[in-house]
């Protein structure tokens, strides 16, 4: 299960967004309280496949979102496991003005708020890095270790970046370095999605244009950072849409120049930000979207369905989504040679429709 944690200052609209995305309406109240909800990843391809096969069951990909109360600065962030266990962070930044909802800082300044939260993540990580370096140095005095020395050099590099106010996601670590850091669960290393919570008038002006919204809110510099994305929405508008029938909601969005709700954009962008893609299995019983990391080979992808399929993997029958939709039926794809037999090392592509052959 992919996990994303919502962060944000009080009165940012964080909990409202969580409730709308997950239909979980019991808000956490005390420090450290956690609410967990599941959101379905919107995917028009799954809708089309479902209409084609008319299965008994339709199963979309999902993302788990958490809403956490963490007041008290960097130390509070360190202590809340829901943040450390998340695969990505979703920072809801207030850009709307409402005299009835006071901002804790007394004024609306999205860039300031985004930097405040970034600084807290960095401070939390710096404390972790310093403690780990102390432990490594003690262990190295007992005897040299090539692995431990590599870890020390990496943590030193991280500490230096953090001391200069640089989030660890900006280092774009990969390979063995990335594996070494996973156990630390550094907060500033996690991919970051900025949700710009706009006024109604601003939302009508910028629509889904993230660049324009970022310029208006002063958040453009954040979008230049590695592993950082953004979505613009207005929770007040999203609340109105949630109360409308499907056709009325579609018309309402069209009036705003939008093809989908802000909620759907947040869910889908969170999924993309984590580097995940979907492949599909189809049939009369079920049409399902399966989540895998980009670059996953076929045998490992089979394990997402069942470990027995991974162990007994023989071949993967693969057809591209566009090919199936163009032909209208799997049989037609077979006749035109568009159904391929792939081995265990085949890298699954986004939108692949796969039937795994296996032996138990």
What local confidence, expressed as pLDDT, does residue 92 receive? Answer: 95
Q: Is the backbone of residue 32 left (phi > 0), alpha (psi -120 to 50) or beta?
A: left
The yes or no reply on domain 2-43+58-106+189-273 and CATH 3.40.50.300 is yes
The confidence score (pLDDT) of residue 31 equals 56
The pLDDT of residue 75 is 52
pLDDT confidence band for 35 (50 / 70 / 90): confident
- Sheet strands (E) in the chain: 2-7, 34-40, 57-59, 62-68, 88-94, 192-197, 228-233, 276-281, 286-293, 313-319, 340-342, 353-358
DSSP assigned state of 347:
B
Mean pLDDT (the chain) is: 90
Q: What is the pLDDT at residue 64?
A: 93
For residue 85 the two structure tokens come to 């266990």
The span from the CA of 188 to the CA of 161, in Å, is 11
Report helix angle 235-242 to 246-255, nearest 10.
150
Measured CA to CA, the distance from residue 324 to residue 332 in angstroms comes to: 8
Q: Is the alpha carbon torsion for 112, 114, 119, 120 positive or negative? A: positive
Read off the pLDDT of residues 54-113 as tens digits, 9 standing for 90 and up. 999 999 999 999 987 655 554 555 556 667 889 999 999 999 998 888 888 889 999 999
Q: CA 97 to CA 109: how far, in whole Å?
A: 10
CA distances 159 to 133, 188, 319, Å, are: 9, 12, 47
**pTM here?**
0.89
Q: Which residues of 29-47 are buried (b: 16+ CB within 10 A; e: fewer)?
A: eeeeeebbbebbbbbebbe
pLDDT digits (tens, 9 = 90+) for 177-200: 888 888 888 999 999 999 999 998
Exposed / middle / buried, residue 51 (Cβ in 10 Å: 0-12, 13-18, 19+): exposed
Domains 120-182 and 295-358 share a fold: no
Burial of 251-290, coded b for 16+ CB within 10 Å and e otherwise, reads eebeebebeebbbbbbbbbbbbbbebbbbbbbeeeebbbb
Q: Token pair for residue 167?
A: 């989030």
Dist CA 336 CA 111 (whole Å)? 55
Is CATH 3.10.20.30 the right assignment for the domain spanning 295-358?
yes
- Residues 232 and 262: beta-carbon distance below 8 Å: yes
Q: Who's near 360: CB < 8 A, 6+ residues apart?
A: 308, 312
Domain map of the chain by residue range?
A: 2-43+58-106+189-273, 120-182, 295-358
Measured distance between the N- and C-terminal CA atoms of the chain, rounded to whole angstroms: 26
- Residue 185, Cβ neighbours under 10 Å: how many? 16
| pLDDT for res 23 | 85
CATH of domain 120-182: 1.10.150.300
Report the C-alpha gap between 68 and 7 in whole angstroms.
7
Can you spell out the DSSP letters for 43-72?
A: -HHHHHHHHHH--SEEE--EEEEEEE---S
Closest CA to 50 of 289, 253, 358: 289
The string of pLDDT tens digits covering residues 120-158 is: 899 999 999 999 999 999 888 887 788 889 999 999 999
Tell me what the mean pLDDT of segment 28-47 comes to: 82
């Amino acid at each position: 299960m992919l996990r994303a944690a919502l962060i944000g200052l009080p009165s940012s609209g964080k909990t409202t967004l969580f409730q709308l995305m997950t239909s979980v309406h019991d808000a956490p109240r005390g420090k450290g309280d956690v609410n967990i909800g599941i959101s379905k990843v919107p995917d028009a391809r799954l809708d089309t496949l479902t209409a084609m096969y008319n299965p008994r069951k339709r199963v979309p990909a999902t993302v788990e979102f958490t809403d956490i109360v963490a007041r008290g600065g960097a130390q509070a962030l360190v202590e809340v496991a829901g943040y450390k266990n998340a695969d990505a962070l979703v920072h809801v930044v207030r850009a709307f003005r409402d005299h009835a909802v006071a901002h804790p800082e007394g004024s609306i300044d999205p860039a300031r708020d985004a930097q405040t939260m970034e600084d807290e993540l960095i401070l939390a990580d710096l404390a972790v890095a310093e403690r780990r370096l102390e432990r490594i140095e003690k262990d190295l005095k007992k005897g040299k270790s090539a692995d431990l020395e590599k870890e020390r050099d990496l943590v030193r590099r991280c500490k230096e970046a953090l001391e200069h106010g640089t989030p660890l996601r900006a280092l774009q670590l990969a390979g063995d370095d990335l594996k070494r850091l996973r156990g630390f669960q550094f907060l500033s290393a996690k991919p970051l999605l900025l949700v710009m919570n706009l006024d109604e008038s601003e939302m009508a002006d910028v629509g889904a244009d993230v660049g324009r919204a970022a310029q208006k809110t002063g958040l453009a510099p954040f979008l230049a950072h590695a592993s950082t994305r953004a979505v613009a929405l207005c929770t007040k508008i999203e609340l109105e849409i949630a109360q409308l029938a499907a056709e009325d909601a579609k018309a309402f969005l069209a009036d705003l120049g939008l093809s989908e709700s802000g909620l759907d954009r947040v869910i889908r962008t969170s999924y993309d930000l984590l580097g995940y893609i979907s492949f599909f299995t189809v049939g009369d019983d079920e049409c399902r979207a399966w989540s895998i990391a980009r670059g996953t080979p076929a045998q490992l992808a089979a394990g997402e369905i069942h470990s027995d399929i991974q162990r007994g993997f023989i071949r993967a029958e693969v057809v591209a989504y566009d090919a199936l939709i163009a032909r209208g039926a799997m049989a037609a794809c077979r006749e035109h040679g568009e159904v391929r037999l792939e081995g265990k090392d085949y890298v699954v592509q986004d939108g692949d429709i796969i039937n795994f052959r296996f032996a138990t």
